[in-house]
Amino acid sequence: MRILAAMSGGVDSAVAAARAVEAGHEVVGVHLALSREGGTLRTGSRGCCTIEDAMDARRAADRLGIPFYVWDFSERFRDDVIEDFVSEYRAGRTPNPCMRCNEKIKFAALLERAIELGFDAVCTGHYATLVDGPGGLELHRASDAAKDQSYVLGVLNAEQLAHTYFPLGSTPSKALVRAEAEERGLTVAHKPDSHDICFIPDGDTRGWLAERVGAEQGDIVDRTGAVIGTHEGAHAFTVGQRRGLQLGVPAPDGKPRFVLEVRPVSNTVVVGPKEALATAEIAGERYSWAGRAQAEGVFGCHVQIRAHADPVPATATLADGRLTVVPETPFDGVAPGQTAVLYDGTRVIGQFTIATTVSAVPVSA
């Protein structure tokens, strides 16, 4: 096959490209320039897609003897990922920018250009596997549960899966990938993994949002609506947050309180006891299927609501364009805007963006 290897500058994508070459494919490496801030540099494991990463990707491509290019996707990234992140926070939701990047950039914009240029597939260093199933190509979890990235790939549809290549999915551990990189003479063998939000490399999400959303003082209320404190901007709070509330009225039972809801229209933050974070139902209308489409009706599944959360057995109902999920045991601290990924065993069924939640604890409790 003609393979376009997306090379981030990390060890995973470098080894993935190396395996594609070793498998006999015609491979071309490409690094995506997602920011026009020329001085952007990595700080340890913070940040990605930086100048340093581009140079590391080029060195890896040179070592593998494959052509290498840098493509400027900064405008698409700004519009589809960064602006989406800001607008979601303005609406009081908690977005996942990695999901949007996979959906809009790596497996939409990049894949579209790759196909236009005659490539058969895009190769990445994601830890996930593709399986030929009875209903077509299926997306499954990786062999290494600790590194499994099927959750953040849950936004991919059948057509996109048909043009993807995940060489690392069956690798038992990340340690073996690093050892292989070292054996291949790749200088990124021991480079730290990136984490946090790549376009906020200093990790100060609250400060970054304050510059773009603005900070306006508002009320912090309990579940009955009583004002018990003030805040400097609702965007700075997420469901499940405990620290930084600065409440002027202690809880009757003396226990700490947590953020239960963010209401951007009224600039209000609702807090309450930890048990009130239990969520009995989630629902949304923005959904997609990873492979064959799910028929309307009721079906059993497991649901994962965060990249590293444990999957929870649940019953899902698809009806009238809305997907509703009721877990066997309540979820903990779910916020609108998060992505719920549905599984059948190791197979990804699909995903949806959570629009509404139902607390498992009545307000009077």
* CA atoms of 58 and 71, how far apart (whole Å): 13
Distances (CA, A) of 329 to 147, 228, 356, 361: 25, 31, 18, 13
- What's the average pLDDT block by block, 10 residues per block, for the chain (365 residues)? 96 97 98 71 54 92 97 91 88 83 89 96 96 92 93 94 96 95 96 78 78 83 89 83 80 85 87 92 94 93 93 97 96 90 97 92 68
Distance between CA 58 and CA 191 in Å, rounded?
A: 15
pLDDT at site 317: 98
198 catalytically annotated: yes
CB 324 within 8 A of CB 294: no
pLDDT at 184: 97
Based on DSSP, count helices (H) and strands (E) in the chain, helices before strands: 9, 20
Task: Write down the catalytic residue from 48, 49, 198, 301.
Answer: 198
Distance CA 142, CA 346 (A): 8
Structure tokens at 202: 């200093």
Hey, what are 111's tokens? 């894949």
pLDDT for the residue 193: 81
**DSSP E strand stretches across 44-91:** 68-72
Residue 174: predicted pLDDT: 92
Whether residue 49 lies in the annotated active site: no
Residue 237 to residue 243: CA distance in whole angstroms: 10
Q: Which two tokens stand for residue 210?
A: 């304050």
Looking at residue 302, its pLDDT comes to: 98
pLDDT, residue 113, reads 95
Catalytic hit among 48, 49, 98, 101: 101
Q: Say what the pLDDT of residue 92 is.
A: 76
Neighbours of 347 (CB within 10 A): 18
